[in-house]
Structure 1
Amino acid sequence: MKRKAEKQQSSATRSAVSAVAARRARQQQLQVASSHDNAPTDNKEPEPPAKRPRPSPDRNSKDAAPSNLERANGNRLAAPSKAVSADLAFELSNIDAAEALKRETSEDGKLTIGDENEEEHTDVRNNADHATPSRIPSTAENFTLSRNKLRKSDVIYSDEHMLCVRLKEKTTLVLIGIYDIWVKRGVISLMGAKLHPSIKTYRVYAPSTHSLPVIKCVSGVEGFAEIELQSCSSNLQGLKDISPYYSRIWNSSKTIGDSATLSGSFKRSFSTLYTSSDDPLNRPLRPLHLEKKWSTTIKSLSRRPHSLRALICGPKGAGKSTFGRYLLNHLLTPTPDGTSDNLDGIAFLDLDPGQPEFAPMGNIYLAHLREPCFGPPFSHPNLDNSRYGKIVRCHHIGATSPKEDPDNYALAIMNLLDQYRTLTATYPRCPLIINFPGWIFGLGLEVATWIIRSTGLSDVVYMSEKGPTEVIEPLGQAVSEAGVTLTTLPSQPVDMVTRSSAQLRSMQMQSYFHMTQSEGLLDSFWNESPLIHSKPTHVSYSGPQPGIAGIMVLGNHYSPQVLRDIIDGSIVAVVAVENASAIPGYSGIEAKPDSDSHTEEEPTDAMVGDQNEDNEESNADDTSASQSNQRVKDLLNESITRCPNSGLPYLFWGAGSSTPLDPKASRSLGLAFVRSIDVSAQRLELISPIPSSSIRDAINQGQSLVLVRGMIDSPDWAFSEEYYAARNAEQDFITQISQSKKSSATGPGKDNDETKREQDEQRRRLQERVRAASKMPYLKVIEDASALHQNEGRQENGTWRLRKKVYISSDSEVD
């Protein structure tokens, strides 16, 4: 007994030492991460690689979250300011579709995707068991998510698609997945908004990539609020079949909370969670709670909405986007009668091109919002025909950081502020919320202080209580000179990150190209088919009436011979040139019709009356606009250099580096993916979610369209969509056969041979699809993994040509 007690004491001591060591290791990691975050870093430095999560010993291996994706920012296409190519080193490991991808960045900056441990393989995909890209610690704490466990008395009615419950005052409920919420009684708070009883439903997107929204009962009838939660299908979940980033982020199988509210089959698009350990996929889930000072500040700012002009700034990762989202929702909260206190909506000026809220990366914009929005940015990457509002004006910066071209960034901000002043002429009670990027040092600080001094702000919110002094002092001086209130709030960084910043940008970009928003529909819909199956738009770039006036590449000047390689398979912005002043170097003023030239017509005009005067003025305006538009076309044609062999119209202004179009006379209509270039027909194949009405309106106004290739991340997600879709279709078929064998009778059937032949034929076709996807453009199948880095980085025609490769390693691709 004594020896046994000594062993137990020794074991407890070792456990305590291990716990202390683990805690010290985590503290050291946080200190290192903090030092890296506080240090000014270049935007193109790779992010830290992902860490493999430790599988939980008390869970089945197929419920554990296998690691799958370690990637850094090396997945970007080489920036035009350095070395640009339309190709990217891309190795797709042909492992099981349920397996994860492990991205590694080699020393030369090429992106590869390697194999995961095949021992973690599982054939079950009904829970969306792709592995999760993550960089989470090896140990995860059990967090309380809901402060209310639903009892039978709390459930009013329930079925496989919906759930109606009563929430006691001050209690909370957390769900994961996608759902519509309808408040029937009482008042609840959700992501900053207070929702009162009405006939309106709100769509909520709650993925595991972000902290989960918390539903809280603020007040109720007889102490309870009544809400109905409805399953919905937006097909955003379907993107998991074409991208590993979207896998394992929604609800999977029934949880403990679901079991208490449903006894039958489970088909809901959401699940109830009480603690993070209730998650069947064992993910590091967290509730979305705010700091007390945050809540107090939001309430204070909301008391004077009509005069509010607030700038939200601070270092990277401080929670600026979360604070801004809560503030917007709180201001847009409808009143009990179903209207909003702020009838003029809210102007949201998003100046963060790296993580924009309502647009894909590389853009800054002014949006006019009318309804609260519940979900991460990739659930609303576009506001075309949206219920939430509209984009008033947008400018394509062409980079994820304003540091690439601060002058153009400042000009774009000035133009957007002018647009806000124009907007207030129609909506005088429209407040302004400005989201500033984490670029708060050096030139970024100068831009922030300039906005404070020149915009007429009422408040500045700085999201850090730790300084630094070289930022706080200039901000304090600027707000003092402008008579603006400065509020300093503590940072609220996310301690658990399951997607890196680059991965979230890829998710938002992929969502942007797959999302559709038809007029008359309240909520968006996503097409889960690969872009290769989308019908492209054919745009001519030469001839008497070309669809585009030219192609620009931001950054350094490049030989016209390599323009085709630069834009082929890339993301470009479709920019409308409104008048000639947008063209760099053009300083002339558009000539107006001379009044003397109409002297002879004036007596006639006076005799025919006022109506003819109006018609004459209208005709004069149309003539002036026509002349201006023709002048724009002439100036663009004069600046075009036709590329040899391809005939592409190359536009370049400047000396050494490209000068962008002036934001005062140009605007971005959206982004497009250059699927291919047909040299023989002199046309481009573009895939774009830009509404045809926007293009038609720009053309009807006589505006010229220019394609602008910036320095944003390469669309490697688009190159591999068909490959993942083919792999997952094959795996689904294998899983279906396996399950049918288990459920069928053990005795032989008369049609077994025929069924076997049909299954073999179907599997052969699916394997052929995988092979065909491996041989797509931008992909090259290699037999030997040792050849992966051979002949890479070879310079061709003055640019680096990077190759995307698929490594054959699974039975599905072996004859």
Structure 2
Amino acid sequence: MKRKAEKQQSAAPVSAMSAVAARRARQQQAQAATIVKPDVVVEITTEPPSKRPRRSLEGQQITHNCEESKGRRTRSSTKQEESSPPVTRAGRPKKTLKSDQLESPSNGVVEENEDSDQEELEQEQREDDEEMAEDEVASVIGDADGYESPADTPAELQNFPLSKARLNKSNIIYADDDTMCVRIKEKTNLALLGQYDLWVKRGVVSLMGAKLHPSARVYRVYAPSTHSLPVVKCVSGVDGEAEVEIRSCKSGLIRLRDISPLYQKVWNEGNTAADKLTLKSALKNSRRTFSVLYTSADDSLKRHLRPLHLDKKWSASMKALSQRHGQLRVLVCGPKASGKSTFSRYLLNHVLSPAPETENGYINTDGCAFLDLDPGQPEFAPMGQVYLAHLRAPFFGPPFTHPSLDDSRDGQILRAHHIGATSPKEDPDHYALATMDLMEQYRSLLTRYPQCPLIVNYPGWIFGQGLEVATWLIKSLGLSDVVYMSEKGPVEVVEPLNMAANEARIPMTILPSQPTDFVSRSSAQLRSMQIQSYFHLSHPSGLTNPLWSGAPLSRTRPITVDYAGEKQGILGIMVLGSHISPAMLREVLEGAIVGVVAVESPNAIMATATGSTDEPVDDDNEGDIDADEDVEMGSGEQQVDGAASGSIADGILRTPEEDLPYLCVGAGTSVPLNPSASNCLGLALIRSVDVKSRKLELSTPIPSSRLHDAIEQGHELVLVRGQLDNPNWAVSEEYYSARAAERRYQKSIARGKKSSHSAVGQDKQNETLAILRERIRRASNVPWMTVVEDNSRRHREAVARREKSLWRLRKKAYPASESETDW
């Protein structure tokens, strides 16, 4: 035994040395084989967030054995780093990025050359686009307030069935480079990715909850990869088939990928097998704005695509709720990421289905009212608002495809209130007052449209004080139904809601949550996409659908508003959330997003400061707190009472240097405007404060007609600075636009070299490239933005380790968790 032990001890150093030597050899081999050029990535430097989410697992190697010890996992991951190149989320080898091959043209159409070398170049270009988008999405915008994307998605899950129908010569009626008309058999469906116009010619099809009958109406559909894909399903048809025409459309939304990495890898890229079948008679280089996919493996970018299907209980519940017709008043609530917005969108489309008539002869001619109480992820408005919308037709697409209803033929926002935050918990009293004012507006709407149903979308703020507000709304809104989107409880939430419903004598339906198992964008990133879409949206006269501009906001002409003098265009500026010294008001405003609020009464602040007896109060648990709040508001009223004297202008202070009109109450604090005397017109981005000319430079998509109407009615305009996310996307737009311009020009040079008649000389090309690169240099040299040369995984891990030492609060990565945070 002694001899055996001595033999093992003598052999141990040899094996250790051999392992070290092998590891060094592998490392040297990997370094010699792969030389990675450093990437250029933009990082926005902002203040530390109030919450630190858990770092995304994207970019790390997948560990299959979860029961290994920590040391063994570390050795395994180190060995994988040294022996294998980085991999993408789908498990494919990650390619080296090239500075001159990173992005597709702004028009979203990649021109294909008959030469095989050109096709290979463009294929390599698309693959490089994928990697660039993945890296930049993870590094440019933070991941606060969102669930992370799982990194351990097996590659075989990509082959997921999407369409039940298959295109062939018998069901393709006609097709060209822009349009295809097909027949879909009953109980089969067709999934499409991209943007398209849908025209139902025969039969009845369902799409995102709506049943579309044959008519002359053409519906615009947006199907990005960031959300589950809508499917066109045949419900009934002539001879068992429905006939639909699908047509390409140009909305300009694809241009936003030139100014934001969040919009990259969103739409369809190459033609699928089904597209090639319908494009046989068209031009060889044809590319539609949509693609038909049979499975997720048909996607050239190998994204994690899933069809948008409803749970059977969801379908049954929507059918039962729609039977109430004009008497429907339903509140949809539940925990975060449970499918509330999806269910509300489906129910809204189902109610607005333009069917000629139902079985009992009911025809919906009054539209549908949509009360959106979720300021974090609103459906038809930018973040930070609660509003009441009157809709007349279904909408097909996620919120960032309809961020505003201004000048829309299918609906309008009747009234909105600026909360100034993504969660109502910042000021529950103001939130409750705004809700009651919107309900009064709905009652006024019923005098003109007595059969107009109502759908109320409540946020995921369902715990603690949010539960108290929800139960109070159930008791006071005069609802007909309550829908709770989780069968897993918890009991401490379901029981109070059920008791409130029983007290109001209305039924409560509990449905299973339907969260997605994979997300490519976090909640914060979707908010950034929506508000960026909002600021680049326009509704040109004469067009039925909106258009988006791909030009950075810095290259658009701002709106100048006098804030002092005889032509003063705004009454004052408010700052919500905390006390701001008047000397710091300019620094707080420049580069911030503000709400443009029309004040309808000079007593707007007085009415808010005096409080309201309609506020939700829990006598058992929150009585002392509410009493203290009443005392504080009462003391504020005493301070303002002598100064306001019935006029909001008397509460305005002028800053000493800039002469800005600072609207505050008491000791510098701003009380929110009374919702019954104010109305939010939209959002604006303050680009600069010109002290010399006493002007504000603003960028806003609010139609000038709305501003003129408010002024003609005698309303004063107030800018409200809340606690919304910083517009990091606006800071980096010019940089990404400059890079996109350079890449497009380099691709045009590459195409010119393939042709025999190049019209541009080498000197002219070098001169143009120098100008484009100078534009990139200037765009990268701006405040609050840093260009990082090294965006490797090790660099990101080092940054994450430094940040981890500062923030300990982590979000759970799955929506079905019992608690929202994990300490």
TM-score range normalised by the length of the shorter chain: 0.7 to 0.9
Aligned-partner Cα distance in 2 for 1:340–1:693: 37
2: distance between equivalents of 1:527 and 1:728? 15
Q: 1:98 aligns with which of 75, 98, 102?
A: 102
Query: Any residues of structure 2 matched to 1:68-467 within 5 Å, and which?
Result: 98=102, 123-124=125-126, 130-132=132-134, 133=137, 135-140=149-154, 141=157, 142-263=159-280, 264-336=284-356, 341-467=363-489
* Residues 587/642 of structure 1: CA separation in 2 closer, same or farther (3 Å cut): closer
Work out which of the residue numbers 763, 767, 772 in structure 1 matches 2:769: 763
Return the offset for 1:635: 2.9
Q: Alpha-carbon deviations, 1:599-631, whole Å to 9, x = none? A: xxxxxxxxxxxxxxxxxxxxxxxxxxxxxxxx9
> 1: CA distance between counterparts of 2:49 and 2:372?
19
CA distance change for structure 1 residues 274 and 336 in 2, over 3 Å: closer, same or farther? same
State whether residues 549 and 705 of structure 1, in contact with CA within 8 Å, keep that contact through their aligned partners in structure 2. yes
Conserved 8 A contact 1:345-1:368? yes
Q: Is the 8 A contact 2:580 2:669 kept in 1?
A: no
Offset at residue 736 of structure 1 (A): 2.3
Q: Unaligned stretches of 5+ in structure 1?
A: 1-41, 69-92, 101-119, 590-630, 794-815
The share of aligned pairs that are identical, in percent, is 55
Give the whole-Å Cα distance in 1 for the aligned partners of 2:701 and 2:712.
20
Q: Quick one: distance in 2 between partners of 1:362 and 1:52?
A: 30
Shift of 1:506: 0.3
Q: Distance in 1 between matches of 2:607 and 2:285?
A: 67
2: CA distance between counterparts of 1:334 and 1:95?
A: 50
Distance of 1:63 and 1:447 partners within structure 2: 41
Q: Distance in 2 between matches of 1:703 and 1:192?
A: 40
- Distance in 2 separating the partners of 1:758 and 1:449: 70
**Residues 758-799 of structure 1, C-alpha deviation per residue, up to 9 Å, x if partnerless?**
11111111111112212345556799999x99xx99xxxxxx
Structure 1 partner of 2:755 = 744
Q: 1:558-610, CA deviations, whole angstroms, 9 ceiling, x for partnerless residues?
A: 11111111110010000111102311467899xxxxxxxxxxxxxxxxxxxxx
The Cα of 1:124 is off from its aligned counterpart by 4.7
For residues 391 and 61 of structure 2, the distance between their equivalents in structure 1, rounded to whole angstroms, comes to 43
What is the DSSP-based 3-state SS (H/G/I as helix, E as strand, rest coil) of the residue aligned with 1:227? strand
Is the Cα contact below 8 Å between 2:576 and 2:721 reproduced in 1?
yes
Residue in structure 2 matching 1:578, options 600, 605, 613: 600
Deviations 1:446-475 (A, max 9, x none): 111111111111100000111111111111
Letter in 1 for 2:204: V
Cross-structure match for 1:498: 520
**Aligned residue identity for 1:131:** A
Give secondary structure in 2 for the equivalent of 1:152: coil
- 2:98 & 2:755 partners in 1: Cα distance? 30
Give distance in 2, aligned partners of 1:587 and 1:531: 37
For 1:54 and 1:173, locate their aligned partners in 2 and report how far apart those are by CA, in whole Å. Answer: 35
Matched, 1:550 2:556: no
Asked if residue 475 in structure 1 is aligned to residue 479 in structure 2, the reply is no
Q: 1:586 and 1:158 mapped to 2: Cα distance?
A: 61
Taking the aligned partners of 1:383 and 1:310, their CA distance within structure 2 comes to 22
Aligned equivalent of 1:652: 664
Aligned-partner Cα distance in 1 for 2:723–2:285: 49
Structure 1 residue 146: deviation in Å? 0.4
Per-residue CA deviation, residues 33-73 of structure 1 (Å, 9 max, x unaligned), is: xxxxxxxxx994233333336999xxx999979999xxxxx
Check conservation: 1:344, 1:427, Cα contact below 8 A.
yes
**Contact kept? 1:65, 1:283, Cα under 8 Å:** no
Q: Which residue of 2 aligns with 1:569?
A: 591
User: What code does the residue aligned with 1:358 have?
Assistant: F
Moved more, 42-51 or 660-669: 42-51
* Letter aligned with residue 738 of structure 1: A
CA contact (8 A) 1:55 1:65 kept: no
Counterpart in 2 of 1:670? 682
Paired residues in the alignment total 656
Q: Are the aligned partners of 2:101 and 2:128 in contact in 1 as well (CA < 8 Å)?
A: no
CA 1:206–1:519: 2 relative to 1, 3 Å: same
Q: 8 Å contact 2:603–2:647 — kept in the other structure?
A: no
Residue 137 of structure 1, CA deviation: 2.7
Amino acid at match of 2:58: R
TM-score, normalised to structure 2's length?
Answer: 0.75
Q: Once the 2 structures are TM-superposed, how far is the Cα of residue 419 of structure 1 from its aligned partner? A: 0.6
Letter of the 2:228 partner, please give it. S
Which stretch of structure 1 is more off in the superposition, 241-250 or 576-585? 576-585
Separation in 1, partners of 2:450, 2:408: 23
Q: Distance in 1 between matches of 2:608 and 2:497?
A: 36
Query: Tell me, what secondary structure is at the counterpart of 1:426?
Result: coil
In structure 2, what is the Cα distance between the partners aligned to 1:65 and 1:744? 37
Give the unaligned 5+ runs of structure 2: 1-47, 63-85, 105-121, 139-148, 612-642, 804-823
Matched with 2:620 is none
- Residue 476 of structure 1 and its aligned partner are, at CA, apart by 0.9
Which residue, 709, 726, 739 being the options, matches 2:721? Answer: 709
For the residues of structure 2 that align with 1:236 and 1:55, how far apart are their CA atoms? 34
The answer (yes or no) to whether the contact 2:599–2:717 under 8 Å persists in 1 is: yes
* Structure 1 CA distance for aligned equivalents of residues 370 and 300 of structure 2: 38
- Relative to structure 1, the CA distance from residue 65 to residue 327 in structure 2 (aligned partners, 3 Å threshold; closer, same or farther) is farther
- Partner Cα separation in structure 2 for residue 633 and residue 735 of structure 1: 67
Partner SS state of residue 304, structure 2:
coil
Structure 1 residue 99, shift from structure 2 partner: 7.8
Counterparts of 1:124 and 1:782 in 2: how far apart (Å)?
23
Shift in Å at residue 441 of structure 1?
Answer: 1.2
Superposition CA RMSD, Å: 3.3
- Rounded to whole Å, the distance in 2 between the matches of 1:667 and 1:66 is 52
Q: Secondary structure, in 3 states, of the residue corresponding to 1:153?
A: coil
Looking at structure 1, the residues matched to 293 and 551 of structure 2 have their Cα atoms a distance apart, in angstroms, of 31
CA distance in 2, matches of 1:380, 1:147: 29
Structure 1 residue 644 displacement after superposition: 2.5
Distance 2:172 2:397 in 1: 26
Separation in structure 1 between the aligned mates of residue 342 and residue 532 of structure 2, nearest angstrom: 22
Which residue matches 2:704?
692
2: CA distance, partners of 1:397 / 1:758: 53
Question: Is structure 2 residue 66 aligned with structure 1 residue 49?
Answer: no
Name the CA distance, whole Å, in 1 between partners of 2:610 and 2:739.
Answer: 58
- How far apart are 1:521 and its partner, in Å? 2.0
What secondary structure is seen at the aligned counterpart in 2 of 1:532?
Answer: helix
Q: Following TM superposition, by how much is the alpha carbon of 1:520 offset from its aligned partner in structure 2, in angstroms?
A: 3.5
- CA distance 1:168–1:53, shift in 2 (3 Å): farther
1:637 positional shift: 3.2
Provide the TM-score with structure 1 as the length reference.
0.76
1:128 Cα deviation from its structure 2 partner: 7.9
Q: 1:494 to 1:784 in 2, by over 3 A?
A: closer
Q: 1:509: how far off?
A: 0.1
- Counterpart contact for 1:53–1:66, Cα < 8 Å: no
Aligned counterpart, 1:734: 746
For residues 333 and 585 of structure 1, what CA distance do their matches in structure 2 show? 41
**Structure 1 stretches of at least 4 aligned residues deviating more than 6 Å after TM superposition:** 53-56, 60-68, 93-97, 125-129, 337-340, 585-589, 631-634, 780-786
Distance 1:179 1:124, change over 3 A: same
Q: Distance in 1 between matches of 2:653 and 2:339?
A: 46
1:151 deviates by 1.2
